[in-house]
Structure 1
Amino acid sequence: MTLEFSSLEWIVIVTMFGAAFVQGVTGFAFAMVSMGVLSGVTSVQLAAPLVALAALTNHTAQCLYYRRAFDRIIVAQLLLGAVLGIPFGLLALRFLPETWMLIALGSVILAYSLYSLVGPRGGQLLKSKRWIYGAGFLSGALNGSYNLPGPPVVVYASSQNWPQERFKGNLISFFWVNAVLVVIGHSLDDRFSVQIIHQFLLAIPGILLGQFLGVSLSKHLNPPMFQKITAVILAITGVRIITLGL
């Protein structure tokens, strides 16, 4: 007996593998890659709950790997802001027109990718507590609507000059809790259809394999260079989504 997948299912499987691989190497960008592709071939409303389930699976495995590398106080402060921001994101997903959401999602991805390419490396340290709570709030809002908690927190983390292990540990821990909250939010909104659950189950092996390969290769590759390559891909994806919205 052979398994036959539709073209959409193949896109989901390959996209989740690629997103998990990128996250394994860089410590972030799972949602940006997967949402960037899937929202363009389906819709934001269908892609968001699917990516939420996939992100939770990916982040759970990575949390176990980096369980000793994160700072509990920093993660708790980021989460406090995120908890306040997630409801705003869920409301946006319910009430805002999809055209607006596609343009906003593409703009977020494009803006972050450009920052990654031309932004300062090891720049000024953001010391005020307002920055960490503000980054958490914006991440929560983006997570609730687009499953994109990364950009504000990654920008903040990049300003702190943390060692690579601490950088990844803090981000993954933060992303994991956000993923749990967003999955709960989508559950309350009854967004997990049979189709979405089916696509998620198909994607699990690719997620785990992509993550394993990414984490393994991150020990041998130059992460800053890989982040620049990822940023170029995300920039192209962001422009494509904005075009779809327009």
Structure 2
Amino acid sequence: MPLEAIIILTVGAASFIRGVSGFGAALIIMPVLSGLTSIYVAAPLVAILGLTIDTLLCLYYRRSFDWGLVGKLWLGSLLGIPLGFVMLRFLSGNWMLLALGLMIAAYAVYALFDPVMPVLRSRRWMYGTGFLCGALGSSYNIPGPPIILYGSSQQWSQEKFKSTLSVFFWGNAVLVVTGHIVQNRLTETVFQQYLIAIPSMVIGLSSGIILSRFFDPLLFRRIVLVILIFVGIRLFVLGLQS
């Protein structure tokens, strides 16, 4: 199958899942494209696709933003970024991925059977969640799991869940894309593949959003938990491969 067709299908499917659940696109696109091209093409491509998706979702869910919550998460993230650099230098990446993947999958399996999960009401959890996101983002480029787990524990509505994740990821995506620009990684090849992916991205994202409107809160939560299980397994496998 031609590379262009694989890009279209992969980005379309990943964008659909992002539209349905509010997360997960990069974990689908990155392994596929990095195996077909190179990490130096796939990483900036995924970054600008992610920034585009985050921007569209921020605009769509703009009325559901909780700026106080997002501000606390961003502050915690900024404080956690230096720790991530320390982790990257002194801790084994494969063990971190193994532990994180196992923790996410175990939580999702446990929560899927509808036990009574405690709602974390203290503001400290918001700062702590952002702190972990910043540390994992600057070390292993996976800032999403802590805020996804936190959002799931809070039993947010679908709109609040997606809007909070989107605006938080948007801030992270801006920094990542800026880093690629500084390192001159946004090459002509990256932009060509980006232009190829845009139509399927828009179709997949909009289709996922439209379909998700028909989900009741319980179904939406279960979909999020099932995707979390796959995310956890994927991180665990990456740890084994490392």
Question: What is the CA–CA distance in structure 2 between the aligned matches of 1:89 and 1:73, rounded to whole Å?
Answer: 24
Correspondence for 1:188: 182
How big is each residue's C-alpha offset from its partner over 1:51-91, in whole Å with a ceiling of 9 and x where there is no partner?
21111010111111100011110001101122334466579
Select which of 207, 222, 237 maps to 1:225.
Answer: 222
2:238 is the counterpart of 1:241: yes
CA-based RMSD of the aligned residues comes to 3.1
Select which of 88, 95, 107 maps to 1:115.
Answer: 107
Maintained 8 Å contact 1:143/1:182: no
Segments of 4+ moved more than 6 angstroms: 90-93
Correspondence for 1:34: 29
Question: What is the CA–CA distance in structure 1 between the aligned matches of 2:196 and 2:26, rounded to whole Å?
Answer: 17
SS of residue paired to 1:159: helix
Instruction: Provide closer, same or farther for how the CA distance between residues 170 and 92 of structure 1 changes in structure 2, counting only shifts above 3 A.
Output: same
**Counterpart residue type for residue 192 of structure 1:** L
Question: What is the CA–CA distance in structure 2 between the aligned matches of 1:10 and 1:87, rounded to whole Å?
Answer: 40
Correspondence for 1:56: 51
Question: What is the CA–CA distance in structure 2 between the aligned matches of 1:14 and 1:88, rounded to whole Å?
Answer: 37
**Counterpart residue type for residue 67 of structure 1:** R
Select which of 120, 123, 128 maps to 1:129.
Answer: 123
Correspondence for 1:15: 10
Question: What is the CA–CA distance in structure 2 between the aligned matches of 1:144 and 1:213, rounded to whole Å?
Answer: 32
Question: What is the CA–CA distance in structure 2 between the aligned matches of 1:195 and 1:88, rounded to whole Å?
Answer: 34
Instruction: In structure 1, list runs of 5 or more residues that go unmatched.
Output: none
Correspondence for 1:198: 192
**Counterpart residue type for residue 109 of structure 2:** L
Identity of counterpart residues, as a percentage? 42
2:65 is the counterpart of 1:70: yes
Correspondence for 1:81: 76
Question: What is the CA–CA distance in structure 1 between the aligned matches of 2:67 and 2:100, rounded to whole Å?
Answer: 28
How big is each residue's C-alpha offset from its partner over 1:164-208, in whole Å with a ceiling of 9 and x where there is no partner?
222222121111122112211222233323332322222222211
Instruction: Provide closer, same or farther for how the CA distance between residues 204 and 107 of structure 1 changes in structure 2, counting only shifts above 3 A.
Output: farther
Q: CA deviation at 1:227?
A: 2.5
Question: What is the CA–CA distance in structure 2 between the aligned matches of 1:141 and 1:215, rounded to whole Å?
Answer: 30
Instruction: Provide closer, same or farther for how the CA distance between residues 176 and 46 of structure 1 changes in structure 2, counting only shifts above 3 A.
Output: same
2:170 is the counterpart of 1:173: no
**TM-score, structure 1 normalization:** 0.79
Instruction: In structure 2, list runs of 5 or more residues that go unmatched.
Output: none
2:133 is the counterpart of 1:139: yes
Maintained 8 Å contact 2:44/2:190: yes
Q: Which stretch of the first structure deviates more once superposed, 196-205 or 170-179?
A: 196-205
SS of residue paired to 1:225: helix
Aligned length: 237
Maintained 8 Å contact 1:35/1:147: no
Maintained 8 Å contact 1:114/1:231: no
Q: CA deviation at 1:36?
A: 4.5
How big is each residue's C-alpha offset from its partner over 1:71-126, in whole Å with a ceiling of 9 and x where there is no partner?
11000110112233446657988x799xx656655654454234222247662222
**Counterpart residue type for residue 130 of structure 1:** R
SS of residue paired to 1:68: helix
